[in-house]
Amino acid sequence: MVMSSAQARVVDPILTTVAQGHQNNELVAQYLFPVVPVAQRGGKIIQFGKEDFRLYNTGRTPGANTKRVQYGYQGNPYALEDHSLEGSVPFEIMQEANAVPGIDMGHTAVGKTQNIILLKSEVDAANIARDPANYAAGNQVDLLLGNKQWSDHANVDSNPSADIETAKEAIRTATGKRPNVVVLSPKAYNACKQHPKIIDRIKYTGRDSVTTDMLATLWDVKKVVVGDGIYEDQAGVLTDVWGTDVIVAYTEMGTLADAGLPSYGYTYRLTGYPLVETPYMDRNAKLWAYPVNDSRAPVLAASGAGYLITDAAA
């Protein structure tokens, strides 16, 4: 991001570093949609087809034409969404916190405000990842319709590991890449931890309970994460961001400088964001305000690199 000297003066570099380094362990969208910095708020999504995963014959005989390949074409347009919130700290709270060593209310205000912004981005990413319309028929399954939900432990057809293997093979067949991440909804994770077929596979490990690391080893993927984020819907009901679903995917970090790397998805984010403006004092409200700004959008780059398991648990 290019800023004028006047704009630069209103950015707090220390608190901006806090915002950029802030993570919420309950949120997992970054594993499906890793962040890629972009210089503009709008453009074309770098999307990927099978050619990006294909092994090419690069040999050339004397006098023959040089082969050409195409990859990473520009697809649908994207538009970054701007997010701005101000964290506020009343004078009274600030004064009390300053009396206790180790408490920095400015950092706390920025962190909590950033959590709210990140939750909105998590919901946006989950809406993309959980939409069956974004997947080919061979890259999705509804376990409720198939009567194979993981929470139905007594059902002989309920088999989490078999479903994950089916997903992995579908992605490998479509892209030539083996998936490296599995995102579990909380209910799907709970169903796995208590599933007799999972417990039977790990009973000789000496562990008393199933963990995400054990599942990653069992399923031969780099990372298994649980999306524990919740949000309050319009009716005031707390709702799991990732519902009862599971997403298996191949994701890879890349930049627009190298046209991106073939990956399930990205989060396009304006270069230099998130940023925190210089805190200011509101004397009328008797508080300090900490403005936090972000500009980002999750995008689906290669749907064939993902597999959606809907209704994995009741």
For the chain, what are the domain ranges?
10-51+75-310
The pLDDT score that the predictor gives to residue 3 is: 45
Residue 216 is classified by DSSP as H
Q: Summarize the confidence of residues 112-122 as an average pLDDT.
A: 93
Q: Torsions phi, psi of 113, nearest 5?
A: -65, -40
Q: With the CA atoms of 255, 259, 261 and 263 taken in that order, what torsion angle do they form, in degrees rounded to the nearest 10?
A: 100
- Return all residues near 298 (Cβ < 8 A) that are at least 6 apart: 29, 33, 121, 124, 125, 128, 265, 266, 267, 268
Confidence category of residue 7, pLDDT binned at 50, 70, 90:
very low
The pLDDT score that the predictor gives to residue 254 is: 55
Q: At the topology level of CATH, where does 10-51+75-310 sit?
A: phage-related protein like fold (3.90.1690)
The strand ranges marked E within 23-150 are: 35-38, 42-47, 73-79, 81-90, 140-142
Q: Summarize the confidence of residues 141-151 as an average pLDDT.
A: 97
Q: Which of these, 257, 298, 312, 229, lies nearest to 81 by C-alpha position?
A: 298
- CA–CA dist 119, 125 (Å, integer): 10
pTM for the full predicted model: 0.84
Two tokens, residue 178:
């083996």
Mean pLDDT of the chain: 87
Query: By the 8 A CB rule, do 70 and 50 touch?
Result: no
Query: By the 8 A CB rule, do 215 and 182 touch?
Result: yes
Q: What does the pLDDT look like over 19-33, one tens digit per residue?
A: 887 777 789 999 999
Q: Please report, rounded to a whole number, the percentage of residues in the chain having pLDDT higher than 90.
A: 61
